[in-house]
């Protein structure tokens, strides 16, 4: 039996329980979030509705990211005391969050459902898994897989991001777990890897819409994703366990990702799940869509 998705069912997935994170409100192109004891305001193009909370609640935020006309440009306006960095916990994981030169702070909370999915697959596998996390950023999927028992190779073009991810490993008391940290262009790395004998049982792919490698290599999502997926297929073991593909800020739908992944995994026994990652507001109960995803697995583990 080969992988079959046909017209995939679109799943909407969001974290159900997380004491240290809340999407408090959204609207007017912004979102109000609580990370531990601190609240932040960040731009959010998907929030085209009106806010539910009064403006005085928004004014209590410790900091707001103010975008500039340049793509991804802007600066943080610090309104009240905020440490340079602080720690958050999700289940058994501990990691650092901090304001950066962009709107990002080191965690995408909606991905918690994928961390749980990867954890379940790793624990249910009848073999020790070797996992590759490309575009690994601050490494939360990496340490989730390692905590569950996988041996992980983490690749990112940013040395700063890899250092951050390594710190998260230590914060989670996983220093003894087999994680290999690599600063490299993801596309070049996977093409080299496809020619080597080392293969992986699991792949985690979170490519940006646009980016540059450590030596100026250019990544463009639509142009290079098909080639990346083929190289990933060549880097898999004959009986892989999972592939997770997530995309932010692109026009592609989850159906597009699912059908691309279906073609990539053709001939292998498995199931594809596609959908949207989201966050649920505490104020009005609305769902804020943040990304699209497609998942392939050879074991019967659903994402919730």
How buried is 1 (Cβ within 10 angstroms: 0-12 exposed, 13-18 middle, 19+ buried)?
A: exposed
What is the reported pLDDT for 285?
94
Here the tokens at position 47 are: 């929030």
pLDDT tens per residue across span 82-119: 999 999 999 999 999 999 888 999 999 999 999 999 99
pLDDT of residue 6: 57
Same domain, 140 and 288: yes
Q: What pLDDT was estimated at residue 222?
A: 67
Please, how many CA atoms are within 13 Å of residue 92, restricted to the half-sphere of its CB?
10
DSSP bridge partners of 76: 65
Final residue belonging to a domain, choices 97, 129, 145: 97
Contacts of 145 (CB under 8 A, 6+ apart): 118, 119, 122, 129, 131, 133, 152, 202, 204
The answer to whether residue 204 is domain-embedded is yes
Retrieve residue 266's tokens: 């053709």
Q: Compute the mean pLDDT over every residue in the chain, rounded to the nearest whole number.
A: 91
User: Per the domain annotation, does 139 fall within a domain?
Assistant: yes
State whether 126 and 249 are in the same domain.
Answer: yes
**Do 64 and 168 fall into the same domain?**
no
Query: What total number of domains does the chain contain?
Result: 2
Residue-level pLDDT at 224? 78
77 and 117 housed in the same domain? no
Strand 21-27 relative to strand 30-35, pairing = antiparallel
Residue 219: pLDDT band with limits 50, 70, 90:
low
- How large a percentage of the chain has pLDDT more than 90? 78
Q: Is residue 114 part of a domain?
A: yes
Domain termination site, one of 45, 72, 97: 97
User: What is the extent of the structural domain holding 247?
Assistant: 10-15+107-297
**Pair (88, 160) in one structural domain:** no
Can you give the pLDDT at residue 8? Answer: 63
Inform me whether the pLDDT recorded for 47 exceeds 70. Answer: yes
183 pLDDT exceeds 90?
Answer: yes
What are the distances in angstroms from CA 112 to CA 100, 170, 194, 270, 288? 21, 19, 29, 23, 15
For residue range 118-168, list pLDDT tens digits in order: 999 999 998 999 999 999 999 999 999 999 999 999 999 999 999 999 999
Residue range 239-263: mean pLDDT, rounded: 92
Do residues 63 and 209 both lie within one domain?
Answer: no
Choose among 298, 294, 232, 282: nearest CA to 23: 282
- CATH number of the domain within which 210 lies: 3.40.50.150
**pLDDT at 1 exceeding the cut of 50:** no
Among 48, 75, 97, where does a domain finish? 97
204 pLDDT higher than 60 = yes
**pLDDT tens, 16-46?**
989 999 999 999 999 999 999 999 999 999 9
Question: Which CATH number goes with the domain that contains 78?
Answer: 2.60.40.1180
Q: Which residue reads 């366990």 in tokens?
A: 241
Q: Are residues 69 and 191 in the same domain?
A: no
**92 and 114 in one domain?**
no
C-beta separation of 203 from 130 below 8 A: no
169 and 216 in a single domain? The answer is: yes
Instruction: Please say if the pLDDT value at position 198 is more than 90.
Output: no
Question: Do 155 and 262 share a domain, yes or no?
Answer: yes
Specify whether 49 is located in the same domain as 156: no
In a domain, 232, yes or no: yes
């Amino acid at each position: 039996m080969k992988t079959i998705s046909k017209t995939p069912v679109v799943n909407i997935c969001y974290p159900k329980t997380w004491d240290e994170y809340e999407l408090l409100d959204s609207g007017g192109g912004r979102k109000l979030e609580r990370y531990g004891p601190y609240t932040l305001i960040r731009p959010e193009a998907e929030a085209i509705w009106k806010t539910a909370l009064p403006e005085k609640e928004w004014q209590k935020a410790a900091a707001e990211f103010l975008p500039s006309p340049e793509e991804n440009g802007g600066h943080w306006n610090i309104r009240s005391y905020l440490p340079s960095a602080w720690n958050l916990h999700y289940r058994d994981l501990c990691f650092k969050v901090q304001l950066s030169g962009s709107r990002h702070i080191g965690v995408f909370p909606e991905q918690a459902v994928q961390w749980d999915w990867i954890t379940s697959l790793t624990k249910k596998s009848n073999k020790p898994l070797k996992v590759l996390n490309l575009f690994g950023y601050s490494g939360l999927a990496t340490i989730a897989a390692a905590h569950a028992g996988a041996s992980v190779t983490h690749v990112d073009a940013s040395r700063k991001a890899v250092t951050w991810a390594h710190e998260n490993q230590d914060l989670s008391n996983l220093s003894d777990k087999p994680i290999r940290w690599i600063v490299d262009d993801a596309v070049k790395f996977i093409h080299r890897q496809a020619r080597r004998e080392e293969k992986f049982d699991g792949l985690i792919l979170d490519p940006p819409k646009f980016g540059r490698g450590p030596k100026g290599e250019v990544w463009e999502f639509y142009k290079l994703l098909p080639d990346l997926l083929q190289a990933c297929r060549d880097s898999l073991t004959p009986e892989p366990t999972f592939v997770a593909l997530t995309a932010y800020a692109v026009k592609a739908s989850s159906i597009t990702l699912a059908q691309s992944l279906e073609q990539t995994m053709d001939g292998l026994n498995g199931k594809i799940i596609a959908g949207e990652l989201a966050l649920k507001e505490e104020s009005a109960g609305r769902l804020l869509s943040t990304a699209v995803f497609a998942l392939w697995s050879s074991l019967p583990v659903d994402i919730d």
